[in-house]
Structure 1
Amino acid sequence: MDAFYAAVEIRSRPELRGRPVVVGGGPERGVVLSASYEARAFGVRSAMPSARAHRLCPQAVFLPPDFSTYAEVSRAVMAVFRSVTPLVQPLSLDEAFLDVSGALRRLGTTPLGIAASIREQVAAEQDVTCSVGVASTMFVAKLASRVAKPDGVHLVPADGVRAFLDPLPVGALWGVGERTEEVLGGHGIATVGDVAAAGLTTLRRAVGEAHAAHLFALAHGVDERRVDPHGREKSAGAEETFARDLVDPAALRRELLRLADRTARMLRHRAVRARTVALKVRFADFTTVTRSRTLPAPTDLARDLHATATDLLDALGDLAPVRLLGVRGEGLVPADRAPEQILLGEPEHGWSDAERAADQARSRFGVAAVRPASLLGDRDPARARSPVEAADPARRGHRAQPGAARAASPPEPNG
């Protein structure tokens, strides 16, 4: 979808058409979730601090998010996709992979014909636009959809994959972040074509065996994944931007407990457990660090998430003022297939029973009915209450991480 949140807002308020529109948190500590293309012309981008967006485009219309409406429109758009093929794998509220191999034979049409039909139906029924990338693999189709924006289609034929990929910056490859891009640059590798030409030996020296094989395959257009309509989300978590920076270790640990409790409830609600706990810390200067640890056994307990996140935070040593904290469970597995971890002297089932009983109490009496004792009566003014966070129906005050909740999505990564 193209600038999805902003597009839905404009759909509801036609007088905003042609004007710069920004959806996100407040100007003090919020972030931009979506910007119309008119706002992007002034340099406004998703995930940008709202204060900077205000400076770049003071004439923009700034709106709080309405996630329930976004989710409703998303469901309608996904229904359009499923009317073409049952092989639809949603990635977020505004993005999905479709396998139309069967539909091509059934409808007697072409990939471009299906793309045109989908775009026309979405525009007619929902009054929003979508861009479509068409390719023989998921990875290339994803990149093609970026080229197609806004409101277009881009086809990469099977015999044109290398010509499409080679000029792209190496950061276009999945798994290449800023650090990996810097390392590859040190080996004279700046484009996807450079990766393809470098050879596995050079790549292994730069990034290690497993990552080298992954990048080499992608650079040659090889992606063995298939669209999985039943695929489970791979992570669940929550993060929070504070109204003022935190420096007190005790306050940081309280916030970690709050985030761990929220994440654990999310996991239990979905009947999954996390193999890995990830911590995200953003400092006042916007430097961001992430750390993770794989657990001996998967968990859906706040106690385990909090203990691991606290260890990861402590390992960072003395901290500069903290602007944002996040806790995320990764490597999710179905709860009924996760191995149990019973340690000698550990009343594991007691903790599990207690947290599930708390879930039942919350569902009956409200979220505030039960919370960890150390959070009772907490009125810390450092905690933000932005419109972004208010979208979370389980506990207002958290912004869901990617894969955490369809109705509480992070800044749009796609359009």
Structure 2
Amino acid sequence: MHVRCPDRLSEDVYREVLELLADLSPVVQALPPTCALVELKGALRYHGTDASHLGEMLRVRSISRLGVDVRVGIGPTITVAATASAQIDGPGGVLAVAPEQAADWLGPLPVQALHGVGPRQAAVLCDYGIHTIGLLAAVSPATVQRLLGKKAGRLAADRARGIDPRPVVPRALPASAAVRHRFARHTLDGATVRTALLDLVVQLGLLLRRRGQAARTLTLTLAFAPSWEKTRRLPEPSGHDEDLRILAYQLMDAAGLQRARLTGIVLKAEDLIDADQAAEQISLDTARESRLVAEQAVDRIRDRFGPASIGPAAVSPLHRAS
């Protein structure tokens, strides 16, 4: 069962929804900020009913107790269940796809509807005439790998065929991750502030990669009187320093600081997902690929010698994010 709550649901209410899911099955995997997975095999025998009825039970309880109408997708695999929950029209409902009907149900859907296929990947597939999940399933996996890359192509080809061996893993992931810096005195120097921000970017990126997570949005909070806060969405979920740095610098530039006396900075990654759910888009940027390889090497150095063993250099006052 894949459960989608309404967008912008508060963290407290989301946790209450997870508690309702735990009443149905002991195997619940949180997918912050608004989704969750539930393993139903043992729950069906325990409750003595079918999956659709459990989905309706969940909806009734969430509406009556929390005032939240959820969308529930049920299927033989995580991919089918998540795709089903995204196909429900309106604020809520239950869509159950039987194992023997999964291929026929997926086939006519547009390729971008397949859970795990990002918009850029879908655009590449459509450019080559692969407009539906059925056509994607009919194309040889080797061809899909040439179009999307080795790993992403293999996953897309397998999931279009209904192959998804991932289990539901009981887990409650943090909904966000934040790093903070407090200045020893009121700070006006732009170079000092940007250097502190870059250091937070490195700390946050390392924290996300160690957790195996990627962020969809980034929030920058500047502490002075009064405080300033702004949130922007990443183009694609990421836990890499370069992607976080570019957006963090854009947020800092948006603050339009001139003579503000800063006392602290908070950089917060939100809407976290598992890193393996972040689509790896096609890239011909060799410089970016080199940076990612270097980032992995730096992470290994920090793991061995400590987080402070290597860090960013001071930033020039004239430096701007590209």
Q: TM-score when scaled to structure 1? A: 0.48
| Correspondence for 2:308 among 335, 351, 359 | 351
Question: Match of 1:90?
Answer: 30
**1:259 maps to 2:193:** no
- 1:99 has 2:39 as partner: yes
3-state SS of the aligned residue for 1:148? coil
Instruction: Give 1:165's match in structure 2, choosing from 84, 94, 106.
Output: 106
CA deviation string 1:280-313 (max 9, x = no partner):
99xxxx99767989xxxxxxxxxxx8xx549986
Describe the SS at the equivalent of 2:210.
strand
Structure 2 CA distance for partners of 1:188 and 1:288, relative to 1, 3 Å: same
Equivalents in 1 of 2:30, 2:163: separation in Å?
22
1:273 counterpart residue number: 210
Residue matched to 1:177: 118
Give the deviation of 1:141 after TM superposition.
0.6
Structure 2: any 5+ residue segments left out of the alignment?
180-189, 219-231, 256-266, 277-298, 316-322
Alpha-carbon contact 2:32-2:173 (below 8 Å) kept: no
Correspondence 1:139 to 2:75: no
CA distance in 1, matches of 2:174, 2:12: 20
* Distance across 2 between alignment mates of 1:4 and 1:213: 30
Deviations 1:365-393 (A, max 9, x none): xxxxxxx9x89xxxxxxxxxxxxxxxxxx
1:89 is paired with a residue whose SS is strand
Q: 1:275 to 1:3 in 2, by over 3 A?
A: closer
* 1:274 to 1:254, Cα distance in 2 relative to 1, 3 A: same
Paired residue total: 250
**Is the 1:166–1:193 contact (alpha carbons within 8 Å) kept by the matching residues of 2?**
yes
Name the counterpart of 1:186.
127
Aligned to 1:116: 56
1:248-270 CA distances to partner (integer Å, 9 max, x unpaired)?
Answer: 99876553333334566x66xxx
**CA distance in 1: counterparts of 2:161 and 2:171, whole angstroms:** 28
Equivalents in 1 of 2:15, 2:148: separation in Å?
A: 40
1:297 counterpart residue number = none
Equivalent residue, structure 1, for 2:6? 3
Cross-structure match for 1:81: 21
Q: Quote how far apart the aligned CAs of 1:194 are.
A: 1.3
Instruction: Quote the Cα distance in structure 1 between the aligned partners of 2:203 and 2:233.
Output: 26
In structure 2, relative to structure 1, the CA distance for the partners of 1:148 and 1:277 (3 Å cut) is: closer
Rounded Cα–Cα distance in structure 1 between residues aligned with 2:214 and 2:29: 25
Q: Within 5 Å, which residues of 2 pair with 1:256-405?
A: 256-261=198-203, 273=210, 309=242, 341=301, 348-349=305-306, 351=308
8 Å contact from structure 1 (residues 237, 263) kept in 2: no
Structure-2-length-normalised TM-score? 0.60
Q: What's the offset of the Cα at 1:231?
A: 7.1
Partner of 1:390: none
Quick one: distance in 1 between partners of 2:120 and 2:160? Answer: 18
- C-alpha deviations, 1:130-179, integer Å up to 9, x for none? 12111111111111112234221111111111222112222223443333
Matched residue type, 1:165:
L
